[in-house]
């Protein structure tokens, strides 16, 4: 089998930080912002579901309500994945999302903002960050192993920039370290010679020392495509055309 | 804490804004394992979790943020340490801020590091900063020629810049204790001896600093206690302030200046109690034996020879874009004293960069000019020579809310 097409799906990879930290591997040969202005808000589940289906899924996802939306599992036949014979999709919202992990992260995030006790806040933040780092390592291991398997498409979803960013965006050193980790991962994939798309649903902007979603995403490729602000619903076709 | 008070030395790092002060500070912290506590700890832990090295750039990010948030490292919060003692770094982000800090509050430095980019050489800002060191009477000075990595660690380049800076410093009366070639970015000759400059056999920065002597403590000086406010607590009238030098003790015979009234200290009042003595830096309240009328701005003194006068000669560093024209009214602020004033004459004016005299009898002072001036105050102020008691030897001149100039009283003529 030919080498798989690889998608590094990174939640909240911020265009401006990629530039600021000089992440050459994340930028690849072509890079730009994605246009998500058609969505009322940059919501993770809405955006990745729209990526998968090539359609704006905002109304459908929001209709499920705040809690139920995280259970969304779109069938393969309704996604661009149906054009692949053996795709592997790790942890992607709307398809193979590890709900238990992410529910736990949201619980800790809520607990952090619910308490006024600085000591408790500190303890929660440490636990929250650690959970995200552990999860990152797990996904990375599974992702790297999948590249050796017989898949024609491998998508790995990495949420650390989003999860850690929400509580630590004002900590530049922490964000730099995370972006360097992701840049190193991208570098590894590039050196392995895969066709690589790096895609984020949205970016992140500073709200005091915390981070909130910014209203554009990021994309980059190591193959030729027109360099413009694609919509997130365009990428299924781009992947299919370049596999 | 007591250990720090006994063993620490305050150093100031000065030089052109782009010559690598931040990197040097970062390197000093990094190489002495003195990273500021707090979020950096979290980053270090995160690096461990992800199996990544802790990089020098992370520390630089941290220092940058502290500056942006005004948690500047001139607040005496941050230390690095050697086997000999702790060091507190005084710094400020920009040129004007530096001058303001030096003159208005951060000037208790006991030693200075003057940093010069070996590639760019001595710049105007280098000279200005060096001049301030000279004005402040700082004698323990290390010159570091930074970014030696950018000039291939060239001895020839080092010698050329060394010659330039030595010649300038000689003209302003500074004889540096050491001139050291370094690369703060690469860590050469900061804490560790460089293996790339075998031609240099002098000390590293840390070795050089450790040879310096700490200043005698302010407690051995005459008592000076500027009154900040007067509180009525029950039937007591408490004079609140901070001991700037000497020791405050009940029973001590003191004089209030500039009024010249004499009295005795009755008690030292602190929160929920009294104390038997208080030393420099302590914020306290005192009561006095006699029911004197005391105002904010008066100085409780014992011993020494403070000058109480409405005419003061001083060095003034003008740091406002708006120039001063002789006769304009300003506010003279020294310790807790605030008195209307004007500059009566500008006896000499220097360009702070070239140090050339500008005019014989100038009528104005412009941004970054230094004037030797005579100030006329609306009422007498109590001042000291800066090198004797710093808090009463430095002042600022304000127009409205803006600090227009800083000044040093270096002569008592």
Q: How far from chain centre, in Å, is Cα B69?
A: 21
Which residue among B40, B46, B55 sits closest to A129, beta carbon to beta carbon? B46
pLDDT of the residue at A94 = 96
Answer whether A13's CB lies under 8 Å from A198's CB.
yes
State what percent of residues in chain B have pLDDT above 70: 86
Spatial distance between the Cα atoms of A188 and B308, rounded to a whole number of angstroms: 74
User: How many helices and strands, by DSSP H and E, does chain A display?
Assistant: 9, 8
For residue B77, pLDDT over 50 is answered with: no
For residue B24, pLDDT over 80 is answered with: yes
Q: Which of B109-113, B238-242, B265-269 has the lowest mean pLDDT?
A: B109-113
pLDDT of the residue at B132 = 78
Spatial distance between the Cα atoms of A135 and B306, rounded to a whole number of angstroms: 68
* Domain locations along chain B: 2-210, 218-302, 307-408
Spatial distance between the Cα atoms of B180 and B139, rounded to a whole number of angstroms: 17
Is B262 an 8 Å CB contact of chain A? no
Domain B2-210 has CATH 1.10.1660.10: no
For residue B331, pLDDT over 50 is answered with: yes
At B26-39, the pLDDT tens digits run 888 888 887 666 66
Could A173 and B50 be called an inter-chain contact, meaning their C-beta atoms sit closer than 8 Å? Answer: no
Could A133 and B43 be called an inter-chain contact, meaning their C-beta atoms sit closer than 8 Å? Answer: no
Is B49 an 8 Å CB contact of chain A? yes
Could A181 and B52 be called an inter-chain contact, meaning their C-beta atoms sit closer than 8 Å? Answer: yes
State the nearest Cα–Cα gap between B58 and chain A, in angstroms.
Answer: 4
Could A172 and B61 be called an inter-chain contact, meaning their C-beta atoms sit closer than 8 Å? Answer: yes
Q: Taking CB atoms and an 8 Å cutoff, what residues of chain B touch A172?
A: 61-62, 64-65
B7 — pLDDT class (breaks 50, 70, 90): low
Is B68 an 8 Å CB contact of chain A? no
Q: Same fold for the domain at B218-302 and the one at B307-408?
A: yes
Spatial distance between the Cα atoms of B74 and B255, rounded to a whole number of angstroms: 34
Is B22 an 8 Å CB contact of chain A? no
Q: Which fold has domain B307-408?
A: Elongation Factor Tu (Ef-tu); domain 3 (2.40.30)
Spatial distance between the Cα atoms of B26 and B31, rounded to a whole number of angstroms: 9
- Please tell me which of A46-50, B74-78, B357-361, B406-410 the model is most confident about, judged by mean pLDDT: A46-50
Which residue among B50, B55, B64 sits closest to A133, beta carbon to beta carbon? B50
- If one compares B234 and A218, the residue with the highest pLDDT of the two is A218
Q: Coil, helix or strand for B307?
A: strand
At A195-208, the pLDDT tens digits run 999 999 999 999 98
Answer whether B130's CB lies under 8 Å from B114's CB.
yes
Which residue among B39, B49, B65 sits closest to A133, beta carbon to beta carbon? B49
pLDDT of the residue at A62 = 96
ipTM above 0.85, yes or no: no
At B373-401, the pLDDT tens digits run 999 999 999 998 887 887 888 888 998 87
Could A176 and B61 be called an inter-chain contact, meaning their C-beta atoms sit closer than 8 Å? Answer: yes
Spatial distance between the Cα atoms of B66 and B72, rounded to a whole number of angstroms: 6
Spatial distance between the Cα atoms of B16 and A11, rounded to a whole number of angstroms: 41
Q: Which of B73-87, B156-170, B289-303 has the lowest mean pLDDT?
A: B73-87
Could A173 and B61 be called an inter-chain contact, meaning their C-beta atoms sit closer than 8 Å? Answer: yes
Could A174 and B50 be called an inter-chain contact, meaning their C-beta atoms sit closer than 8 Å? Answer: no
State the nearest Cα–Cα gap between A224 and chain B, in angstroms.
Answer: 33
Omega before B258 within 30 of 0, i.e. cis? yes
For residue B6, pLDDT over 50 is answered with: no
State the nearest Cα–Cα gap between B55 and chain A, in angstroms.
Answer: 9
Which residue among B40, B49, B50 sits closest to A173, beta carbon to beta carbon? B40
pLDDT of the residue at B16 = 84
- Average of per-residue pLDDT across B147-152: 96
Which residue among A172, A178, A181 sits closest to B65, beta carbon to beta carbon? A172
For residue B94, pLDDT over 60 is answered with: no
Q: Which of B14, B12, B16 is nearest to B125 (CA)?
A: B16
- If one compares B379 and B351, the residue with the highest pLDDT of the two is B379
Instruction: Provide the mean pLDDT of chain B.
Output: 84
For domain B218-302, give the CATH number.
Answer: 2.40.30.10
Give pLDDT < 70 ranges for chain A.
1-2
Could A177 and B43 be called an inter-chain contact, meaning their C-beta atoms sit closer than 8 Å? Answer: yes
B229 — pLDDT class (breaks 50, 70, 90): very high
Could B61 and A126 be called an inter-chain contact, meaning their C-beta atoms sit closer than 8 Å? Answer: no
> On the CB side of A41, how many CA atoms lie within 13 Å of its CA?
8
pTM over 0.80: no
Could B57 and A125 be called an inter-chain contact, meaning their C-beta atoms sit closer than 8 Å? Answer: no
φ and ψ of A115, to 5 deg: -100, 145
């Amino acid at each position: 089998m030919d080498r798989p097409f690889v998608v590094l799906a990174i939640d909240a990879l911020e265009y401006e930080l990629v530039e600021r930290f000089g992440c050459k591997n994340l930028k690849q040969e072509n890079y730009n912002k994605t246009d998500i202005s058609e969505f009322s808000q940059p919501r993770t589940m809405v955006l990745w579901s729209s990526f998968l289906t090539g359609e704006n899924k905002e109304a459908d996802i929001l209709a499920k309500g705040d809690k139920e939306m995280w259970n969304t599992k779109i069938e393969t036949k309704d996604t661009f994945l149906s054009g692949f014979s053996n795709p592997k999709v790790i942890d992607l919202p709307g398809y193979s999302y590890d709900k238990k992990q992410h529910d736990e992260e949201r619980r800790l995030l809520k607990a952090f903002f619910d308490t006024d006790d600085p000591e408790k806040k500190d303890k929660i933040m440490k636990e929250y960050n650690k959970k995200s780092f552990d999860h990152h390592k797990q996904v990375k291991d599974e992702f790297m192993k999948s590249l050796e398997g017989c898949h024609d498409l491998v998508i790995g979803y990495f949420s650390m920039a989003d999860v850690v960013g929400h509580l630590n965006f004002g900590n530049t050193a922490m964000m730099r370290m995370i972006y360097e980790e992701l840049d190193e991962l991208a570098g590894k994939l590039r050196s392995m010679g895969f066709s690589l798309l790096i895609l984020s649903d949205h970016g992140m902007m500073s709200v005091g020392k915390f981070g909130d979603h910014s209203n554009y995403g990021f994309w980059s490729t190591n193959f030729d495509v027109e360099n413009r602000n694609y919509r997130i619903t365009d990428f299924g076709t781009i992947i299919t055309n370049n596999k | 804490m007591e250990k720090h008070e006994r063993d620490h030395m305050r150093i100031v790092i000065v030089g052109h804004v782009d010559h690598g002060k931040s990197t040097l500070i970062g390197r000093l912290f990094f190489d002495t394992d003195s990273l500021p506590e707090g979020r950096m700890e979290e980053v270090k832990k995160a690096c461990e979790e992800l199996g990544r090295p802790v990089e020098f750039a992370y520390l630089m990010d941290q220092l940058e943020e502290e500056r942006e948030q005004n948690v500047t490292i001139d607040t005496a919060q941050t230390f690095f340490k050697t086997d000999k003692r702790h060091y507190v770094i005084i710094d400020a982000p920009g040129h004007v801020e530096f001058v303001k800090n030096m003159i208005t509050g951060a000037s208790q430095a006991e030693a200075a590091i003057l940093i010069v980019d070996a590639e760019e050489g001595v710049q105007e800002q280098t000279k200005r900063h060096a001049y301030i060191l000279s004005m402040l009477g700082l004698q323990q000075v290390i010159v570091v020629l930074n970014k030696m990595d950018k000039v291939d660690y060239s001895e020839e380049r080092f010698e050329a810049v060394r010659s330039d800076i030595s010649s300038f410093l000689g003209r302003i009366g500074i004889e540096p204790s050491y001139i050291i070639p370094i690369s703060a970015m690469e860590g050469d000759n900061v804490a560790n001896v460089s293996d790339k400059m075998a031609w240099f056999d002098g000390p590293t920065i840390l070795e050089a600093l450790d040879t310096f002597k700490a200043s005698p403590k302010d407690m051995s000086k005459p008592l000076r206690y500027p009154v900040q406010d007067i509180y009525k607590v029950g039937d007591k009238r408490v004079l609140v302030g901070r001991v700037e030098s000497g020791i405050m003790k009940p029973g001590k015979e003191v004089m209030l200046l500039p009024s010249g009234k004499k009295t005795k200290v009755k008690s030292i009042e602190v929160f929920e109690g009294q104390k038997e003595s208080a030393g420099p830096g302590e914020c306290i309240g005192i009561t006095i034996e006699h029911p004197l009328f005391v105002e904010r701005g008066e100085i409780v003194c014992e011993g020494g020879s403070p000058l109480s006068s409405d005419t003061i000669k001083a060095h003034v560093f003008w740091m406002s874009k708006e120039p001063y024209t002789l006769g304009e009214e300003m506010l003279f602020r020294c310790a807790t004293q605030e008195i209307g004033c004007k500059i009566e004459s500008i006896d000499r004016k220097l360009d702070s960069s070239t140090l050339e005299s500008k005019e014989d009898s100038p009528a104005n002072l412009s941004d970054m000019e230094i004037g030797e001036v005579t100030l006329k105050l609306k009422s007498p102020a109590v001042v000291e020579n800066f090198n004797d008691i710093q808090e009463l030897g430095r002042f600022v001149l304000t127009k409205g809310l803006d600090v227009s100039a800083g000044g040093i009283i270096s002569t008592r003529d």
